[in-house]
A and B are shown apart, each in its own frame.
Chain A
Amino acid sequence: MALNRKIAYINLTTGEIETKPIPLEIRKMFLGGRGLDMYLMYNHIKPGIDPLGPDNVALVSAGLLVGTLASASARTHVAGKSPLTGFVGSTNMGGFFAPEMRWAGFDHLVIKGKAEKPVYLWIHNGEIEIRDGSSIWGKTVQETQEIIREELGDSDVKILTIGIAGENLVRYANVMTELKNAGGRSGMGALLGSKNLKAIAARGTMDIKIAHPSEALEYNRKIIRQITSAKVSQTQGRLGTNFIWGATNTQGLVRVRNFQLNQLEDSDDIEPEKLDEFNIGMTGCFGCQVHCRGKYIIPSGPYAGVYAEGPEYTSIGAWAGEPGCRNPLTILVGNHLVNSYGLDTLETGSMIAWAMELYEEGILTSKDTDGLDLRFGNDEAVIEMVHRIANRKGLGDILAEGPLRAAKKIGKNSIKYSIQVKGMSNLHSDERPTPALALGIATGSRGSDHLRSRPAIDLYHLPEPVLRKIYSQPVPYDGPLSSDYRDYEGKPWQVFWHEMCYEAVDCLGICKYHTTFLGATLPNFEEWSKLLYYNTGLEMSPLDIWTVAERCYNIERLFNIREGLTRKDDWLSDRYFDEPTTVGIPGVRNKTLDREKFKKMIDEYYEHHGWDENGVPRPETLRRLGIDKEPSHML
């Protein structure tokens, strides 16, 4: 059954592999995926270790509902101490790897030490083998998968891999699977690279027993309808996530020219509808009827004829808005390159845009760029920088270190221009007019990030009764709620609620697009409780699931605090408070964040969490959640 998948401890230094069952007691506390990974991370990683040294631990897992009849239960989670931030490293990706790992018998891998030479893991029906990886080292994400399949003689093998960026320890290198499923943010690709672990291949034919098959079938049928009947899902299935960029750019909620503007004008050529002209069909992840991933063939230039997937919302930000470019080809090629190199599209685009502003300010000169004209809007320079970052050449070697280390190397107050939190670049959205979204990126446990807590439905101006219905379950809430995304009132609760929502789905292995992330009518705790019961037999109420999420989020907080995080790390760049927005619809123009109100929001947010004014979980909070004795080493 879905609860009997095992955990494997793999020591790459010694070659020892040990497998263990996962006790039900632990399941009830952390479910699986991100939640259990966070528990393992807190217990197995010693404080203060070098994230790129052999003491760091790479955790690879599948959510508890992965491979079952829960719509889009496809998510793989990878964790460890982040080489980019030094805090929680955590990433989540779709595709087909996680279900395959479960069919092969495993839910969690705890990978320790460092292999002497490049290796890959081969997981097959309950067995794990460490294999020579010399034939795949130096290969792209796509080549690696083809070579492994050829080597193992099975075209159905699913592979999680790093690209050349991960091998070169670019601190924001991704783990990847298939063409473009990307485990981005926080540099988990560099972590695998530091262990000489190029890839993990999985193939399995072991049953995952469904506890109540006919109920699970009927209920999932209903859930899928609930998801695909939402207009937002339909738009996504047609235009991909690109539609979000179009909608937010129209309002003036995106970062342009690093942080100089909040809207890309004359953007006709790269609007979602325009990019759709390159689309040749849609595809998607395991078990998903939304199919939000586009397919395209690069139409011209040096990469003409290459088949790729995407681009996504973040790619338009990274290859158009942020560097101030308007050429669809730059988006299509940039997206393809980061997916081949295994780079985080968002971080790469942000680093390049930051360097462009430094170039404009004269902090970087053509001497630093080896003659490359790094001005805003120079499409060729943007693409060239991707190659340089992945291969750590010239300025690329500095940018590969991430915002904080790069700013230290460049000096000259370059940090002032960097748009980052906890050493991770912000998404390409501009949160100055939207305090809720700003609070989310300021407090996210893996650094600046929208996928930790973004209450995206806050942008819809939903009527108060609708908000009340969503946000007062499974935990009662009778505080303020506001339909206006420019308000500060009630937003901390929304951010807290979405944190719990996303933590819960990350434990279950369901896609966030199937939750109250983008659509107010999409499933959350109530539905997950039923999905858990029908598929695994585990009886957990919506409130129980919420409590698991709280428990896991607190462990993330404890990990960060142990690594030196303080309240001042939950803060944004001064530019958010000092430089007003200049363009966009009237309601978002001339906006800055208010320092005092923002501080108050953080106080309130801590209070919801049961943390003190320094953001430290109170002893009674930890007792209530049963994690006051961590580290416990139960697993």
Chain B
Amino acid sequence: MQKMLVVDYEKCTGCRLCELVCAVKHEGVSNPLRARIHIVKWEMKGIMVPMICNQCESAPCISVCPTNARTRDEEQRKVNVDYDKCIGCKMCIVACPFGAVSFDPFASRIISCDLCDGDPRCADFCETGALRYVEASQSNKQRQREAAEKLYESMRKFTAAYTG
């Protein structure tokens, strides 16, 4: 069964452990610039949003790639990069609607999430549940249940109010 990385924006506490783990896993260093995931923050408002490649089914970064270095990996449901073909033109950075593709100036190459080849470490370390790597069929289940619970609550209140 195929899996996917699911982000629950409400659960993120903004600790940035995912950035750290990602940079160490891929580059052996602590440096958020070299991570494939970023927490965008509005500190003074308490807002933190994890931004990561959504592995689009119809990915703009693949469409714009002039050398076909970026391809679709149907097996792992993700975007693959062939660094032998990549010329570093950065068109993918421009094309990505989420700003999830970036350039690593140290290694002089394009970087984006590769799902750690099926074992994304960010999700493994994130205990808040903001990042989860789950079966594709389960991707919406938790959110659906939470929403259903809220609906049920309001229905119950509604019924109680009108039937007294």
- Indicate whether A67 reaches chain B with its CB closer than 8 angstroms: yes
A103 touching B31 in the complex, CB below 8 Å, given contacts A179-B46, A217-B24, A217-B25: yes
Q: How far is the CB of A205 from chain B (nearest CB, A)?
A: 4
Taken together as a complex, chains A and B put the C-alpha atoms of A285 and B45 apart, in Å, by 16
Q: Which residue of chain A lies nearest to B44 when distances are taken between CB atoms in the complex?
A: A142
- Which residues in window 1-58 of B have CB below 8 A to A? 10, 13-17, 20-21, 24-25, 27-34, 41, 43-46, 48
Q: How far is the CB of B95 from chain A (nearest CB, A)?
A: 23
- Which residues in window 144-171 of A have CB below 8 A to B? 145-146, 155
Segment at the interface with B among A20-28, A286-294, A492-500, A607-615: A286-294
In the complex, the answer to whether A283 meets B127 with C-beta atoms within 8 Å is no
- Indicate whether A178 reaches chain B with its CB closer than 8 angstroms: yes
A282 touching B34 in the complex, CB below 8 Å, given contacts A145-B43, A221-B124, A309-B46: no
Taken together as a complex, chains A and B put the C-alpha atoms of A2 and B30 apart, in Å, by 9
In the complex, the answer to whether B25 meets A289 with C-beta atoms within 8 Å is no
Q: How far is the CB of B58 from chain A (nearest CB, A)?
A: 31
Taken together as a complex, chains A and B put the C-alpha atoms of A103 and B106 apart, in Å, by 14
Question: For residue A309, which residues in chain B have a CB less than 8 angstroms away from its CB?
Answer: 46
- Which residues in window 198-246 of A have CB below 8 A to B? 205-210, 213, 216-217, 221, 224, 228
Q: How many A-B residue pairs have CB under 8 A?
A: 93
In the complex, the answer to whether A287 meets B16 with C-beta atoms within 8 Å is yes
In the complex, the answer to whether B31 meets A205 with C-beta atoms within 8 Å is yes
Q: Which residue of chain A lies nearest to B127 when distances are taken between CB atoms in the complex?
A: A289
- Indicate whether B128 reaches chain A with its CB closer than 8 angstroms: yes
Q: How far is the CB of B104 from chain A (nearest CB, A)?
A: 10
In the complex, the answer to whether B34 meets A284 with C-beta atoms within 8 Å is no
Taken together as a complex, chains A and B put the C-alpha atoms of A96 and B14 apart, in Å, by 10
- Which residues in window 44-76 of B have CB below 8 A to A? 44-46, 48
A224 touching B127 in the complex, CB below 8 Å, given contacts A283-B13, A286-B16: yes
Q: How far is the CB of A257 from chain B (nearest CB, A)?
A: 34
Q: Which residue of chain B lies nearest to A2 when distances are taken between CB atoms in the complex?
A: B30
Taken together as a complex, chains A and B put the C-alpha atoms of A402 and B144 apart, in Å, by 55
- Indicate whether A82 reaches chain B with its CB closer than 8 angstroms: no
In the complex, the answer to whether B24 meets A307 with C-beta atoms within 8 Å is no
Chain A residues touching B, range: 35 or more
In the complex, the answer to whether B20 meets A283 with C-beta atoms within 8 Å is no
Partner of A206, one of B17, B21, B31, B45: B31
Question: For residue A289, which residues in chain B have a CB less than 8 angstroms away from its CB?
Answer: 15, 17, 125-128
- Indicate whether B121 reaches chain A with its CB closer than 8 angstroms: yes
Taken together as a complex, chains A and B put the C-alpha atoms of A213 and B34 apart, in Å, by 15
Q: Which residue of chain A lies nearest to B18 when distances are taken between CB atoms in the complex?
A: A287
Q: Which residue of chain A lies nearest to B126 when distances are taken between CB atoms in the complex?
A: A289
In the complex, the answer to whether B20 meets A178 with C-beta atoms within 8 Å is no
Question: For residue A142, which residues in chain B have a CB less than 8 angstroms away from its CB?
Answer: 44
Q: How far is the CB of A299 from chain B (nearest CB, A)?
A: 15
- Indicate whether A68 reaches chain B with its CB closer than 8 angstroms: yes
Taken together as a complex, chains A and B put the C-alpha atoms of A286 and B13 apart, in Å, by 10
A213 touching B15 in the complex, CB below 8 Å, given contacts A205-B31, A224-B125: no
- Indicate whether A346 reaches chain B with its CB closer than 8 angstroms: no
- Indicate whether A593 reaches chain B with its CB closer than 8 angstroms: no
Question: For residue A206, which residues in chain B have a CB less than 8 angstroms away from its CB?
Answer: 31
Question: For residue A207, which residues in chain B have a CB less than 8 angstroms away from its CB?
Answer: 27, 29-31, 34, 106
Question: For residue B46, which residues in chain A have a CB less than 8 angstroms away from its CB?
Answer: 179, 280-281, 283, 295, 307, 309
In the complex, the answer to whether A307 meets B16 with C-beta atoms within 8 Å is no
A283 touching B48 in the complex, CB below 8 Å, given contacts A207-B31, A207-B34, A209-B29: yes
In the complex, the answer to whether B13 meets A284 with C-beta atoms within 8 Å is yes
Taken together as a complex, chains A and B put the C-alpha atoms of A291 and B125 apart, in Å, by 14
Chain A 77-116 interface 0/1 with B at a Cβ cutoff of 8 Å (1 = within): 0000000000000000000100100010000000000000
A208-B30, A208-B31, A289-B128 known; 19 other A-B pairs, CB under 8 Å? A67-B20, A146-B44, A155-B41, A179-B46, A205-B31, A207-B27, A208-B29, A213-B24, A224-B127, A282-B13, A283-B15, A283-B46, A283-B48, A284-B14, A286-B16, A288-B17, A291-B128, A295-B46, A307-B46
Interfacial residues, chain B to chain A (CB-CB below 8 A): 10, 13-17, 20-21, 24-25, 27-34, 41, 43-46, 48, 105-106, 121, 124-128
**Would you mind naming 16 contact pairs between A and B with Cβ atoms under 8 Å apart?**
A67-B20, A69-B30, A103-B32, A146-B44, A179-B43, A205-B33, A207-B34, A213-B24, A213-B28, A217-B24, A224-B125, A281-B46, A283-B13, A287-B16, A287-B17, A307-B45
